Amino acid sequence: MAATVRTVVYLAIIVGLVVIFLPAEILEGTGLVRASPMGIIQFVGATLTLAGVGLTLWCALTFAVLGRGTPLPFDPPRRLVIAGPYRWVRNPMAIGAGSALVGVALFYESLPFFMFAGLFMLAIHAMVVLYEEPTLRRMFGAEYAAYCAKVSRWLPHPPVSTQSGDDSA
């Protein structure tokens, strides 16, 4: 329960900052407003944003329930999370956040926001390779190595057996 509360606080702060506050600042700085009328590009953007936010929420709740921690480095999961969306790809939370940002860029038809989304994903990739993966190797050893051998870092694919009973989240 405590991990779930911590995760909700994390999501409110991080998602609020990355998906609401920074996009508003970028859009205000470029003078863009919502494109009108609402067309197919806005529909696709809104759909991608909602799907990305939904995936991010699913990932965070999976961390809280199965991992007994949060996505934050100072309060990480106590168990390796390889269930739910993590069966398909190792970094679904980053994919969800990136998808949400690309969706916002599409919705507003904003090149500066596409650039922001690209920089966000480059920063996430660097953080994953330089910090997250070495930390997980130290924390979970052979279990994490086996997981990495079966599940791609960025390209989702159908799940493969993960040797754990927690494949159902």
Residues 102-133: tens digit of each pLDDT: 998 998 888 888 999 999 999 999 999 999 99
12: pLDDT strictly greater than 90: no
In a domain, 156, yes or no: no
In a domain, 61, yes or no: yes
Q: Which pLDDT tens digit goes with each residue over 72-82?
A: 777 778 899 99
3-state secondary structure 75-89: CCCCCCCCCHHHHCC
In a domain, 89, yes or no: yes
Please check whether residue 62 is in contact with residue 93, taking contact to mean a CB–CB distance below 8 angstroms: no
Q: The domain containing residue 135 runs over which residues?
A: 2-150
Q: Which pLDDT tens digit goes with each residue over 25-55?
A: 766 776 666 556 778 999 999 999 999 989 9
In a domain, 16, yes or no: yes
Q: What is the pTM of this model?
A: 0.78
Burial class of residue 130, CB neighbours in 10 A (0-12, 13-18, 19+): exposed
Residue 1 confidence (pLDDT) = 61
**Pick from 129, 154, 148, 11: which is nearest to 70 by CA?**
11
In a domain, 64, yes or no: yes
Count of structural domains, the chain: 1
Which residues lie below 8 Å from residue 45, measured CB to CB, with a gap of 6+? Answer: 102, 103, 104, 105, 106, 107, 108
In a domain, 161, yes or no: no
In a domain, 166, yes or no: no
In a domain, 163, yes or no: no
Residue 120 confidence (pLDDT) = 93
Pick 152 or 108 by higher pLDDT: 152
